[in-house]
Structures are given as structure tokens and as C-alpha cells.
Homo-oligomer: A and B are copies of this chain.
């Protein structure tokens, strides 16, 4: 999921390498951040404020600690969420969206708009 890895993606031959990089890769970057089984729900959960690890897990049924841990690390690596450890007992760990992470909101909003129309169109057609 690292951005460097993604540079290995091949480009269509009808696009010059440079064109492909600038046209395709950024879109894939954005998609990678949002797609996957849990990412969206975790981000959505964090838009309602700081959350502790177990708290997120409880809010999202079926989410295992392994997956949550992995997704939160992804979010951290991409500077979209931050992790704060408090020296209590038992230890308290809080996650929250960074200011930067909140810039995802309008993007998700656009996906939502398109997706809603699509949903109506496809469901309405049967």
C-alpha cells in the first residue's frame, strides 16, 4: 500500500510514461486509500471524533484487531490519522483524523453523490 510500490504499475502503451504517471497514478493513490473492506467505515467512525482502539472495534461489527491495527497503520503512514498514547492503566490509545485527513471528506462526498445517483439508476431499472 506504500506509494513507492505503486510506481511499479505498468502504463498503457498509448500513453507516454510521463502522461501515465500524472494521469493514472494519482487516481490510484486516492482509490487505494479508500478501498478495501474496512477503510471507509474506520474513516467514517473517526469523523465523529477521537476514538480508542477497542471503541472503533466495537462500533464496527466483524472488524478483527488484526485488520483494525493494519488499517490504522495505513492511515498513519499516509498522515491521515494520528495516534496518541496516554500513560494510564490500562494504557489508553486514541486515534483521530488529522487536519489533512479531514480533506478526504469532500472527496468522499463526491463519491457519495455519484454513488447515490448510480444506486437509484440501477435499482430503479429492475
A interface, CB within 8 angstroms of B: 3, 10, 12-14, 22-31, 33-35, 40-41, 44-45, 48, 58-62, 78-79, 100, 103-104, 107-108, 110-116, 118-119, 121-123
Contacts and interface: CB of A to CB of B under 8 A. Distances in A.
Given A44-B24, A59-B13, A110 B110 contact: yes
Contacts of A61: 10, 12-13
Chain A residues touching B, majority SS: helix
B59 A26 contact: no
A118 to B, nearest CB: 6
Given A12-B61, A59-B12, A118-B33, A27 B104 contact: no
A30 B121 contact: no
23 contacts: A3-B119, A3-B122, A3-B123, A10-B61, A12-B41, A13-B58, A13-B59, A24-B44, A25-B119, A27-B40, A27-B108, A27-B111, A27-B115, A28-B115, A29-B115, A29-B119, A30-B112, A30-B118, A31-B35, A31-B111, A33-B118, A78-B122, A104-B114
